[in-house]
Amino acid sequence: DGGARRPEAAQAAGGCKESTSSASPSDMSQKRLIPLYTVSDNPSEVFTTRFSPDGKLLAAGCGDGTVRVYNAANGRLAYELRNSKGREAMPVTGLRFRPLGASKTKNVLLAVNADGSVSHWHVTSGKCLHTIKDDNNQLYCVDYRPDGAIFATAGKDFTVRVYDEATKTLMSEMCTGVGSATPGHSNRVFSLKFNPTDPNIMISGGWDNTVQIWDLRVEHAVRSIYGPHICGDAVDIYDNTILTGSWRTKNQLEMWDYNSGEKIADIPWNQSVVHSATPAMLYC
């Protein structure tokens, strides 16, 4: 995109383009998404998708535990990253490509799974480089800091964990109990995003109808926004604006001011390209 960068949570997975170029909230009702192509031969449900940093690959995390990587130009399957569990495999719930420049090794994909595992995959060779496992948890989301030096995961146990990318060791666990003095999540967490302009800040959202703002320097949430019902990879932040997508029939797509926590705008969310009488709810 040659224009201003838009929050990724508002982009349609699978390769779509917008029919208008304006990105102001007042013009959102005039925008429509036009599919470039449709991948219809995937043998399993898709839980999450992610484009590679160069835009050439599209990775899809699937319900059978496989990551399928497609050529973004034509939608053809290029690579399959399979675990060894076969029919016992749990869904791949979150994906992030390692940022360019973070290492000499390119095409590294970080995948989290509902079985509690975090795996580093080398896409072009199909090799699993490293796995971190938490048997007592389910993971639903992951994100890299823009410099690629650290990454974070979250899921069923309400806790945000931060890891060192080079050593794969746990650096911090950020959580809170219900009624604690500092804010935090009280239900499952489904989306994580580092602030691209502040390496110490990340945001998260989940089933508890809140977006939490975390500060790595104090290792807990410093404030929260109430309202969004996040059920997938549907939180993003850019230029002091937070974008949220909610799994509900009203006020699905909202913009919030990062500093004040006040809502900036409700973005009208029209029906999908497949006509339906049921309002479209947002997952990612």
What's the token pair of residue 173? 């666990």
Residues 6+ apart with CB under 8 A from 182: 176, 220, 221, 222
Helix (H, G, I), strand (E, B) or coil at 255: strand
Q: What is the model's pLDDT at position 145?
A: 97
Please report where in the chains the tokens 């484009």 appear, as a residue.
Answer: 51
Residues 6+ apart with CB under 8 A from 51: 57, 58, 59, 72, 97
**Bridge partners, residue 58, by sequence:** 51, 70
Angle at 111 between CA 18 and CA 154, to 5 degrees: 90
Greatest distance between any 2 Cα atoms in the chain: 51
Report pTM: 0.83
Residues 11 and 47 sit within 8 Å (Cβ to Cβ): no
Closest CA to 140 of 11, 233, 44: 233
Helix (H, G, I), strand (E, B) or coil at 83: coil
Q: What is the model's pLDDT at position 138?
A: 96
Mean pLDDT, each 10-residue run in order, the chain (284 residues)? 34 41 52 67 87 95 95 92 79 95 90 96 96 93 97 96 96 79 88 96 96 93 94 93 94 94 87 62 83
